[in-house]
Structure formats: C-alpha cells, structure tokens
Chain A
Amino acid sequence: MSTSTDTIEQLATQEYKYGFVTDVESEIVPRGLSEATVRAISQKKNEPEWLLEWRLRAFRAWLEMAEPAWHNVHYPAIDYQDIIYYSAPKPKKQLASMDEVDPEIRATFKKLGIPLDEQMRLSGIAVDAVFDSVSVATTFKDKLKDLGIIFCSFSEAVLEHPDLVRQYLGTVVPHTDNFFAALNSAVFSDGSFCYVPKGVRCPMELSTYFRINAKDTGQFERTLLVADEGAFVSYLEGCTAPIRDENQLHAAVVELVALDGATIKYSTVQNWYPGNKDGVGGIYNFVTKRGKAMANAKITWTQVETGSAITWKYPSCILQGDNAVGEFYSVAVTNNMQQADTGTKMVHLGKNTRSTIVSKGISAGKGQNTYRGLVKINKGAAGSRNYSQCDSLLIGDRCGAHTFPYIEVKNPSSTVEHEASTSKIGEDQIFYLRQRGLSTEDAVNMIVNGFCKEVFRELPMEFAVEAQKLLGISLEGSVG
C-alpha cells in the first residue's frame, strides 16, 4: 500500500491527466457521472489508490446494471447525469437568526421540543464553537479513545485507519450488490465509521449528533460499523427534525460487522422531507443496509421511517455464525403521496440461528406502504428459527397496505412462523378517546402509538419519545 503522501501526489497528477476542472473554493464536482467524476471525488478526499480502484470497479459494475423495477414504488425516471455527485460542504445559506427560518419548520421544532441550540444547528444557522454539543462531542471522543473505540467520519477513517477500512469495506454489501449500492460505492462522499475493539462495551449511545463533522455528509453516505469479538455497541442514526431539501436521490449504504459474540443495535429515525401533500418534492431514499453476524453475535435493526417521498430499504442480517441472532423492528409511515417499500432479509446460514421480524406499516392519505421480507434458511442452518409479524394499519380509505413475505426453507429441522394483520383505525376508537376529552389528533396519535408499541420499546429511551412525537406530526391532518 502506498503512503498517503504518495497517493495524494498520484491523485494530483491524475487530476491534470483527466483535465478535470476543480474549483477548490466551491468544492463542487460538475454535474453528471463518469469515471472522471469518481476520480475527482476520490482525489478531493485524498483517498489511497486501493479505494479509488474499488470505487472504479463499482462504477464499472454500475454501468452494466439496470435500475431495479421489482419494487412497489413509482416515480419518474431518475436522470443520473443530472445529479451533482459531490458538493460538500453543501452550499447552504447561512441564516442569521431563527427569525429567518420557515415558520412551519419552527412550529415543528416546537412540537418536537428540540432545544434552541439544536434548532439553530439544524436550520443551518452558524453557531460554531459556542454550540455546547461541540465540546460535549470532544469530551465523548476522548472517553471513547481511552477505550480504543474509533468513531469518526468515513473520510477520516480512510486516512487514519486505512487497514481497518480496507479489511471490512464491502465485505457485507459488496460493490456489485445492487444498482443503488454500486452507485453509492462509486460516488459516496462521506459517512461514519466505527470500530469497537474486542470485549469492549461502548458506554454510550453513539450517534451522528455527537460526531463533530457530521454536518452535510451528502446524499451518498456510507457507514461501516465493526464490533470486534464480544464487543457491544448501540448506534443511533438519523435526523429527527425535518431538514427540508429539494427532491433528490439519497442512496446510502450501511454495513455492520458483528464478530463472534458481539452485539450491534442500530436504531434509525428517518424523517427526510416527504414532499408536499400533492407529492411535489421529497427525498427518494434508496438505502442498502446489511449486517453480518458471526457465531453467537447479535444484530438488531430498529427503524422508524416517517419521512421521504419514497423509502426503499431492507435492513438485513446474514446470520453466518452458529447461534447468531438477527432482529428487525420497523415502523413505516406513509401519509399523503408517500410510498414505502421496506422490510428485511434474514439469511440463516449458521446452526441454531434465530431471527425476529416485527413490522408495523401505517398508511394514511394516499400513502402506499409495502412490507417486503425474505426469510431464507439454508441447508446447513439446522435448528434455526424465525418469527415474523407484519401488521398494517390503514387511516382513511384512499391509502394502501401491501405485504410480500418470501420464505425459503431448505432445512427440515427449522421453524418459521409468520403472522400478519391488516386493520383500519376505527371511528369507534377515535370517538371513544374523544369522549374522554382527547382531541382527534391526540386520539389518532395514541392509537397509532399503541399499534407501534412493540417497535418503540426497542428504541433507546430518548429516541422513543422523539419517535412518538414525530409519528404524531407525520400523521397530522390525516383524519377529519
């Protein structure tokens, strides 16, 4: 492997070689996607040669791939040449005070009970060093460092811990995995990296909130989490406030590696801009998330998906080692014109592997909600078990819920259970709660939260509270 200085030099030459125009001030790579784009991104990030090669392999694979069409979401064709693939830091207007922020957003912040500092940060107001969480983050970082835990941006990891990144990158989601994952592998701009050493229990929830350079990681994030043997880590991902963005593609990849006896809890609250009531704008969220669990390891995915115009994600577990455990708890909400096609894959390879799937889909307005799941038990996975439960809740009569469970069992000693239900939120239930003094909104909120209880209790405390509030906001105006 070349040293980083060498690599920088190489890349600098390459830049000239391809005659690529780079305006360092604005940090924007011209619109469109080609090998030159991939090289430019890699060069901007001072990446080593091997990573550039990896990106290029992904790009070439992507060129040969077709955008998937099996999903139950519909959207106008995406022009991949009309996207700016690298624009970090995002040229967001810095606002001088909260007064300049959209009143609607301010109202939402208020409902969410987000502290003012946080509101300012989320709105893109310059708060810089005075912002408390910066120093908080630094304190945490020192504490983590003492335990040997690495938690930093992906770019930083590539430069500071290249061996670890190289060892695990693409081992769970290969660069050829699927159309969107290949695209991400070619052009990912940044993301998070975490490594928890052998036997270490990470003493706090890790979240992007506590990461100093979490700002504006862009639309193609890549997260890699490695829990070494016997380690434990709980990771929170997401934005619990509505960051308004233009209609754009968001194609992230998350890879989790849980080595023997390790535990990873990965919780997401996704609230990207869903578009307006008529379906204008909103994020197209095409995300590939997968974890590999070795012997006696455990991976738990918990997700609350309330945002995005389109959600396409299937956080999955490859239960490779014996006795590995995979769990998936999901709440997906589609209101107005939102569409979600989400679920999980549980692939049982090791003996006595166990998986649990609890999926709660809520459709309101004209929202379309699809659960798609695969439970695959391979020949060698003797004594494996799966339990799946998929419940759908409909609010109103213009929305839809769809369930596509796939089950492949190649081992006679395994057990697979599947339960599914679809219910409509009852006028009777709403009236009952209103008769006790609750407003219609609070009533719906309460019923929906009850419906999601099994998932919310898997979330870390503060996250669960936010998720509940968020759910209420997402469903606002869906009844009455």
Chain B
Amino acid sequence: MLQITNLHARVDDKSILRGINLSVKAGEVHAIMGPNGSGKSTLAGVLAGRDAYEVTDGSVTYKGQDLLELDPEERAREGLFLAFQYPVEIPGVNNAYFLKAALNAVRTHRGQPELDAMEFMALVKDKAKLLDMDSGLLSRPVNEGFSGGEKKRNEIFQMAVLEPTLCVLDETDSGLDIDALRIVAEGVNALRSPDRAVIVVTHYQRLLNYIVPDFVHVLSEGRIIKSGGKELALELEDKGYGWIEADGAAVARG
C-alpha cells in the first residue's frame, strides 16, 4: 500500500529526514518510535503533505500513485488520514458540519453519493458510541474549548467516520490519561482491518500495549536504524533509546 524509498526532507535549511525506507502493506500496523527530534512528526507531516516540509530526494508510492505529487486534500480523499498531534481549533465551525463536508468530499471522490443530514447523523451516532464520545462535542465548534483528551478522541472519531485506508497517528497518546488512552486505542483497534494500514508514531511504548503493532521501527536522526516485531518496543522501554542509537552508530561505523 505504501512504499517509502530513500526519503529525504528538510524544514527551512535543516535536513530532517535523511533516507527513510519503509514498506507498509494493507492490514499491517507499524509503529514508528524514536527520541525527540528524530524526525517522527516530520515523516507524518510529509506523508500528509504539509507545506513547511520540502522533499529533497526519494519517493513515496501510495496505492500505486506518486503520493508526493498529490495535494493534501487529494491524499485525504485517496484515504490517507493524519490524526494530528495538535488538533487545530476552528472557531465558529460546527464539528458535525465540518465532518459532514469532509465525508462528502471523500465520498464524492470515491464515486459514492453524498450523505444527507439524516443519514449522516445516523452514521455519526454509531461512531460516537464507539469512542464513548459525548454527542455534545458534535455540535460544538471544531476542537474549540475541547480538553486535550477530547481533541485526540475527536481525531480518532473523525477517522472512524471517514474510514481511511491509511491511518497515520502522530503522537496520539501525548497528553492522554490512562482511561482516555484506552478508549482511543480501542477506537483504533476497532478500525483495524485487512484493507487498512496504520502507522502509529509515538515516543513511548505505552500506547503499544493497547495498539499492538506488527512492526516496530526506530527512527534516529532521520533514518530508520532498527526494525523488528512488537518485542522491540518492549526492549526499548527497558533499555532506552541510547542503547539502540549507540548500536546503530556502531553498525553505521562498521
């Protein structure tokens, strides 16, 4: 589904990604871990098409298309969803109204008929239950006045409604207490399916207790320095990033 090859990217004049290689197949869950500043969020941003990042080398193929050629909204309509680390507030714009517009943009792109207000509300009620969402949040302006937990839950809720094929979760666990973490993780798990891939970007192993990945990749200084199964995350938890970075450096030197 997703093939990242030798991806290089920079912000302003600072190079952040320095040759990422990653292959993600449908049905898989990949965790990208790494210390602060290793390029995790940059990778998520580049995949979603954030303007601030400039790709200087490499390629990204998504469902057979050159992803980097697509505008952010085209990527979204093609089923790429980014759960933001810092969801943005849009004052005055009703959450449900926004989501209906987004869903219909995606549906139109897929050649499906737009949902009317009644059908949409029925769908939304269903999905809200999944995430234990207070239906009051639906009629409030997008993310405005939401608590940190509510914002993250709202991200996963949007994901559930939009039914993307590739979900990129950028530090979704940051700022969540344990209960919220569990609810969010359950929401993500409910979306796991053979046709859908998930990339979980996280600093801590904690989230991976709930969303159990098929693969774990460790990012350091813009490169994947180690890949493994779910046990790699536990090892990291135990030994810290220092261990693997030293190891990786040794590999690079050797």
Contact = CB atoms under 8 A, between A and B. Distances in A.
> Which of B50, B73, B76, B81 counts the most chain A CB atoms within 10 A?
B73
B234 interface: no
Interface in B60-78: 71-73, 75-77
Interface string A442-464: 10001101111110000000000
B101 A438 contact: yes
A439 interface: yes
B91 interface: yes
Contact of A450 (B49, B88, B92): B92
B166 to A, nearest CB: 12
Given A426-B88, A429-B88, A453-B92, A437 B48 contact: no
Given A427-B51, A446-B98, A446-B101, A434 B76 contact: yes
Contact of B82 (A429, A435, A453): A435
Contacts of A451: 91-92
Interface string B82-126: 101001111111000011011101100100000000000000000
A437 B112 CA distance: 15
B90 A449 contact: no
A437 B109 contact: yes
A418 to B, nearest CB: 20
11 contacts: A431-B72, A433-B102, A435-B82, A436-B105, A436-B158, A437-B76, A437-B102, A438-B105, A447-B93, A450-B141, A451-B91
A432 B92 contact: no
A315 B141 CA distance: 30
A427 B106 CA distance: 21
B162 interface: yes
A437 B162 contact: yes
A436 B88 contact: no
Given A426-B88, A428-B88, A438-B102, 13 more contacts: A433-B90, A435-B49, A435-B84, A436-B102, A437-B76, A438-B101, A438-B105, A439-B73, A442-B105, A446-B93, A449-B92, A450-B141, A451-B92
A440 B173 CA distance: 29
Contact of B90 (A427, A437, A447): A447
A362 to B, nearest CB: 13
Nearest to A450: B92
Interface in A392-443: 426-429, 431-440, 442
A437 B93 contact: no
Nearest to B144: A450
Interface residue tally of chain B, by bracket? Answer: 20 to 34
Contacts of A433: 90, 98, 102
Nearest to B73: A434
A435, A438, A449, A451: most-surrounded residue (chain B CB, <10 A): A435
Contacts of B99: 436
Contacts of A427: 51
B90 A446 contact: yes
10 tightest A-B CB contacts, nearest first: A450-B92, A450-B93, A436-B102, A437-B105, A453-B92, A432-B88, A437-B76, A434-B72, A434-B73, A437-B106
Nearest to B82: A435
B51 A431 contact: yes
Nearest to B97: A446
A451 B91 CA distance: 6
Contacts of A438: 73, 101-102, 105
A432 B162 CA distance: 14
Contacts of A429: 88-90
Contacts of A439: 73, 105
Contact of B71 (A434, A436, A447): A434
A210 B243 CA distance: 79
A446 B142 CA distance: 11
Contacts of A449: 92-93
Contacts of B92: 449-454
B13 to A, nearest CB: 19
Give the interface centre of A428, A436, A439, A440 by most chain B CB atoms within 10 Å: A436
A434 B80 CA distance: 11
A450 B99 CA distance: 14
Nearest to A439: B73
A437 B77 contact: yes
B136 to A, nearest CB: 18
Given A446-B93, A447-B90, A436 B76 contact: yes
Interface in B118-157: 141-142
Contact of A435 (B72, B90, B142): B72
B91 A437 contact: no
Contacts of B105: 436-439, 442
B101 A431 contact: no
Nearest to B79: A437
A451 B89 CA distance: 12
B80 to A, nearest CB: 8
Contacts of B87: 432
A437 B82 CA distance: 11
A451 B144 CA distance: 13
A439 B75 CA distance: 11
Nearest to A360: B92
A425 to B, nearest CB: 10
Contacts of B81: 435
Nearest to B102: A436
Contacts of B158: 436
A308 B92 CA distance: 27
Contacts of B90: 429, 432-433, 446-447, 450
A449 B90 CA distance: 10
Contacts of A437: 73, 76-77, 102-103, 105-106, 109, 162
A447 B106 CA distance: 19
A390 to B, nearest CB: 15
A447 B141 CA distance: 11
Contacts of A428: 88
Contacts of B51: 427, 431
A443 B175 CA distance: 27
Interface string A40-79: 0000000000000000000000000000000000000000
Contacts of A446: 90, 93, 98, 101
A454 B92 CA distance: 8
A442 B162 CA distance: 18
A467 to B, nearest CB: 14
Interface in B189-246: none
A435 B93 contact: no
Nearest to A428: B88
A451 to B, nearest CB: 6
Nearest to A442: B101
